[in-house]
Amino acid sequence: MFPRPAPGHRLATAAVALGLLCSLNTSAWAGARNPAGATPDSPSHGHPRVTRVPSAAGSATPLAGYAIRSTAEVGDSATAVSSPGYPAKGWYPAGPRSTVLAALLADGVYDDPFVSTNLQKIPKSPFQVPWWYRSDFTVTDPSHRTYLDFSGVISAADVYVNGHRVATTDEVTGAYTHHELDVTSLVTSGTNTVAFRVQPNNPNKNLTMGWLDWLQPPPDQNMGIVRDVLVRRGGPVALRDAHVVTKLAVPSLATADLTVKAEARNDSDTPVTAEVSGTVAGVTLTRSVELAAHQTRTVTFTSADTPGLHLVSPKVWWPAGMGGQPLYDLDLTASVAGTASDTAHESFGIRDVRAPLDSDGARQYSINGRRLLIKGGGWSPDEFLRWDRTYVEERLKYALDLGLNAIRLEGHIEPDEFFGLADRLGVLTLPGWECCDKWEGQTNPGESGEKWTAADYSVAQASMAAEAARLRDHPSVISFLIGSDAAPDAKIEKNYLDALNAADWAVPVVPAASAKSAPQLGGSGMKMTGPYDWVPPGYWYAKREGGATGFNSETSAGPDIPTLDTLRRMMTPAELDTLWKNPDAKQYHRSPSATFGTLKIYDAALTGRYGAPKSLTDYVRKAQLAQYENVRAQYEAYGRNQTDVSKPSTGVVYWMFNSGWTSLHWQLMDRYLDQGGAYFGAKKANEPLHVQYSYDDRSVVVVGNRPAPASRLTVRATIFNPDGTQKYDQTVSGVSVGGDGARTTALTLPASVSGLSSTYLARLTLTDADGREVSRNVYWLSTKSDTLDWAKTDWYYTPTTSYADLTGLSSMAQVPVTATASTTEADGTSTTTVTVRNAGTGKTPALLTDVHLVDANGKPVLPVRWSDNQVSLWPGESATLTATYRTADLHGSLAQVRVSGWNAVERTVPAALPEPSVPLSSR
């Protein structure tokens, strides 16, 4: 979906629609891998596929790809380069959405940038001059009107069609601004050429995208074209800005009123009468509109003039876990003299989102009248902005698997398909502008972004208008954050709000992700108090700094060391040796920031709590244990405190959900979608019905994360020394808990237990009325607490002056864990069922037993979704786990499962398909 130009602005051949009031494109999901209407030819080196553009009214066909080349290597004129038949010999092929470096990587110019320091070896100089993007398209009927419709140019571009410049870099600038160029007079029958001369990007100078301290930035700074360029066809009247404003009756949800709007624009030199007709939610719409030459009029349908738009018993959209995700469709056609001139289609959902500030000044979201705790993660796109729909969908499904309900996009706002996927999956999204570069250059003097020029105000407002129009119909979008670390000043805020209001923006606008205020909107209701580096699990229970009170927009204990499989893919043996031996070493795969350049704080905690690592394998296993307990505690603390009377928690965004490259920090899963302690700690904390331990007051609490209440539950808490000797046991029956985040305290563990070692284990179980175990949670704890020096809290962490003693875990004897596994397959999806059992004859439990699905070569099969994992088993206990994955990801291999853990003897067993049955008649 793309926005429209400003109302009343004539689309002259060389004009750009950088209008401040924007609207939606008529096609949803433009740019899918095989978009309707596009029939590209076969690509060849330097000669991308020619896009065949149909003449059908309302068609919007994305260019299939480009040939690209540095202007330093092209001596020909712009007229020549942008003319049909130009021999683009030696040019690089690029996809329809591609940065310069993404194209060069695809063409094998540079080695895999995710491995070792290969990224550092790519020179920057080739990307400090403009690059040409050139593409051909064919039409058979030039009498129809033709437009170029696009956004996503980084950082700016001159645009040419068939040898003529139709827009300049002053007009086409900014990653998010939308542009529509009427090129009808230039298009001929047969082959036509469009060329972009794309300028270099500098996120401190341009309102585009930057990476700050997330990862080592790409040498090209993402210069290129990262969204589809559409070729639109139509008749004299264009339909733009089609959208639906919904008003749901809350709390009854019994009715909803729809308002349908669209712009009818006469692009001809003579007056016309257009018939605008269509359907929405099964309701027929029709309206006759008289338009003078080059006039634009808004066509509006309301329940006052179209009674059917007052819906009774509407299908209401809910986040996953709270209800279904039904979507409605709007289809419109503008006809002139009985002939279709243009069409528009939008999908939308009906829901009500509110986010007032509570009595403590924290932002409290509710949807459809039901309050909810935002449990989210910070989203990162691919470092080179390569769009892969399947990869994105898998990550969103991982979010649901983790029990999360929201994703925050700080800048790097993804293409339309991302939000379409979020709509269908029920994942809430919190898009907004990014911090610390040009976007906050006017209001955040402590960062590197330059002050704004007069032109920047227009670009920012146009960017806001374009994104508001693009995102407003997506029910998954529940806010827009117009600031991140800083809030906009009065002028910038007014421009943003004017654009949002003009776009009929209906969900809350948040002035900043930090505790900043804006003149009109007031306080943000959010905090950005960190931490971003290691803190102990107990930190999260303190109602201060980053602890579980209010809405923490970005926070975590920093490093998230990947699995050993991933580490060996991304680092050399020498780098891996340094990883576990030298905490002071600069880690290229952590961050370019001096603050986050090493793992010193994290490694000191790992050694102080668990003991010094003895090998790479020992370092990684301790890291997985530490990450499991810390991530679990973060989500559990926010989950427990959400119903507090005083200073409740209202939202938490794990920083970050994923990384755009191979990273050592800020990720719940790694680049390759492998899962370790951080992943399964989050999954455990957010399970639907959950029993948990509180680090602050030793209470054992049941939290109902599902909508329905539960009763007749039984909670059992048992404490063991690491050798499995039981030291305490208490059972409480008749426990009840409400839904939607309610909690019940079942019991409190004693402050001291006779004979307890300095390191000990606490096993919590929750069983239902039928005696079925619905939640099990095992903690490794110490009689010696972690001690925080709150007075020395910095923006990124609070120092720990003494550590909990968890070294006793190293004394746990190795235990045999047996496993049996089998696999079934249907419709391209395989399910492997694994039963793991602690076969030890003593008392020692198998702590954090991990099961990895691997192929015949021992390589992880990814992505995969486990019913549960990293389970702890006492002797004689077993657990049955299931893994679901695409059969094709086995690449013809037989599935196997590799069982390991803190003190389990590692083993790999087959998980073959069952033998096919043989009919009796053939025996």
What is the C-alpha to C-alpha distance for residues 360 and 433, in angstroms, rounded to an integer?
Answer: 26
DSSP 797-819: ---EEE----GGGGGPPPB-EEE
* C-alpha dihedral sign at 381, 386, 387, 389: negative
The single residue listed with the structure tokens 């994992």 is 869
SS (H, E, C) 157-225: EEEEECCEEEECCCCCECCCCCEEEECHHHCCCEEEEEEEEECCCCCCCCCCCCCCCCCCCCCCCCCEE
Catalytic option among 467, 554, 636, 740: 554
With a CB cutoff of 8 Å and minimum separation 6, the contacts of 557 are 531, 533, 534, 535, 539, 630, 631, 634
Alpha helices (H) along 582-641: 600-610, 616-640
Note if 697 is an active site residue. no
Supply 43's token pair.
């690509």
d(CA 869, CA 863): 14
The rounded radius of gyration (Å) of the Cα atoms in the chain is: 29
Total Cβ atoms within 10 A of residue 120: 10
Of 851, 621, 815, 819, the C-alpha closest to 722 is 815
* CA 243 – CA 240 distance, rounded (Å): 9
Instruction: List strands edge to edge, sheet with 817-826.
Output: 817-826, 829-838, 878-886, 865-866
Q: Which residues are paired to 718 by β-bridges?
A: 729, 763
* Contact call for residues 239 and 264 (beta carbons, < 8 A): yes
Question: Which residues are bridge partners to 181 per DSSP?
Answer: 148
Beta-strand relationship, 865-866 and 509-510? unpaired
Residue 171 is which amino acid? E
The answer to whether the beta carbons of residues 741 and 372 sit under 8 Å apart is yes
* DSSP-derived secondary structure for 82-138: TSTT---TTPEEE-SSEEHHHHHHHTTSS--TTSTTTGGGS-SGGGSS-EEEEEEEE
Task: Tell how far CA 583 is from the center of its chain.
Answer: 31
Q: Which residue has the tokens 């990224």?
A: 119
C-beta of residue 453 within 8 angstroms of C-beta of residue 459: no
Residue tagged active-site, from 136, 275, 383, 485: 485
Cα 594 to its chain centre, rounded Å, is: 26
Q: Which amino acid, residue 579?
A: L
Torsion-angle region of residue 46: left (phi > 0), alpha (psi -120 to 50) or beta? left
| Measured distance CA(150)–CA(164) in Å, rounded | 18
Instruction: Dihedral sign for Cα 75, 80, 82, 84, please.
Output: negative
* Alpha-carbon distances, residue 786 vs 23, 287, 808 (angstroms): 54, 70, 15
Q: Given the DSSP bridges, would you call strands 406-410 and 374-378 parallel, antiparallel or unpaired?
A: parallel
**485 classed as catalytic:** yes
**Which residues lie closer than 8 Å to 388 by C-beta, 6 or more apart?**
382
**Distance, C-alpha 575 to centroid of its chain:** 30
CB-based contact 552:652 (threshold 8 Å): yes
CA distance 54 to 141: 9
φ, ψ for residue 110, nearest 5 deg: -125, 155
- Residues assigned a catalytic role: 485, 554
